[in-house]
Amino acid sequence: MFRIRSLVVTFLLSAAVSVSQAAPKVDLVNGFESPDELKAWQISSAGTKLVDEGVTQGKKALELTFDPKGRWNGAGMHWSRPRRDWSAWDVLLIDLTNPNDRPIRAGITIGDEAWNAKPTYWNRHNRGVVLPPGKGQIVVPVRGLYRGEPGSRNNDIKTDIDPTRITRFTLGFGKRGEEGKVIIDNIRFTKSGRPESVWAFDFGAASQTVMPGWTPVSNRTRFGGDARFGWVGGPPTVSHARRHSAPCSPRTSSSAGDRRSASPPSPDATR
Ligand SMILES: [Ca+2]
Domains annotated for the chain, with CATH where assigned, are: 2-19+195-270 (no CATH), 25-191 (2.60.120.260)
Is pLDDT above 50 for 150?
yes
* pTM, entire model: 0.69
pLDDT given at position 5: 42
CA dihedral 129→217→256→9, nearest 10 degrees, is -110
**pLDDT (0 to 100) of residue 30:** 97
- 63 CA distance to ligand 1 middle (Å): 11
CA of 210 to the centre of ligand 1 (A): 28
Cα 117 to averaged position of ligand 1 atoms, centre (Å): 35
pLDDT in tens, 37-70: 999 999 999 999 999 999 999 999 999 999 999 8
Contact criterion met (CB below 8 Å) for 187 and 27: no
Please write the tens of the pLDDT for every residue from 223-242. Answer: 877 777 788 777 666 555 45
- Tally DSSP H helices, then E strands, for the chain: 5, 17
Task: Report how far ligand 1's centroid is from the alpha carbon of 255 (Å).
Answer: 50
**Residue partners of 249: CB distance under 8 A and separation at least 6:** none
* Whether the Cβ atoms of residue 167 and residue 86 lie closer than 8 Å to each other: no
Interval 13-38: pLDDT, tens: 333 444 444 566 899 999 999 999 99
